[in-house]
Amino acid sequence: MMLNYDAPLYRPPSEARSLIFQVTLGCSFNECSFCDMYRSKQYSEKPWDEVKMEIDLMAKQLPDTRKIFLADGDALNLDSEYIVKIVKYLYEKFSNLERISCYAMPMNILKKTPEELKKMHEAGLDMLYLGIESGSDIVLKKVTKGAIAKTIIKSVNKAKDAGYIMSCMIILGLGGKTYSKEHIKGTAEVISACSPNYVGALTLYLENGIKQEFLEKFGEPFIRITDDESLEELYDLISQIETKEEIIFRANHGSNAYTIKGTFPQDKQAMLDKINWMKQHPEIMRPEGLRGF
């Protein structure tokens, strides 16, 4: 007997081998115009009896579990004491457990006190995945992100101060052609100001169900960037990121035309050199069929 998930179920690519517990369903914000992950669900929180029953069940089925991801998009929205209770119980039941992680929104981190964040981390919540998407306030407003650059920086730094490993996502092409320069400039500034442990660059991909809403909320004609312009954005982003702290950078998602990876600050020049080489060799680009708008 396995868990009966409330579909759709999402997790970050790096949680591919993790055991997933849905402690919340949906997303309490659910208004980002580029994201339709939880549009089919009403946000709700699972009661302890149900969560405990599922943990007990899976502890028998998969006792050697090493990584656990708490879903859906908004587990950090739960009351801090409840998260502590869940996390402590998971470590009790899974003796080989090495990591527990979940998605986090800037507003969810900012609502917690530093003490609450520390308490959850000490209990065993190790890693948070946060969508930066853009560092441009114009773009963030146009895609109804529910955060501005300042609050994103503040939230990542607040979580890092409490001991969390931070993995952040940004979206190439989110400002379209019109706002490409400020999108990349602002995004580089945000990354430089909070130096997440990991940064993943995706390229804008809109599911059919959300496309019309995205275009309407954008408030003006949205001109999609080309693959060449996407590579240009990637070059500008990497060249403008300034950090003394180590940032593991990846642009290898299926939505990207090109694959770039490295670690700041030491690999910065090597990544820029590789992009310059790619510009001379467009034949290495991934087929359009793997990506979309």
Tokens of 109: 């981190």
Average pLDDT over residues 13-17: 91
The pLDDT tens digits of the residues spanning 154-208 come to 999 999 999 999 999 999 999 999 999 999 999 999 999 999 999 999 999 887 7
The two beta strands, 127-133 and 24-25, are unpaired
The pLDDT tens digits of the residues spanning 123-140 come to 999 999 999 999 999 999
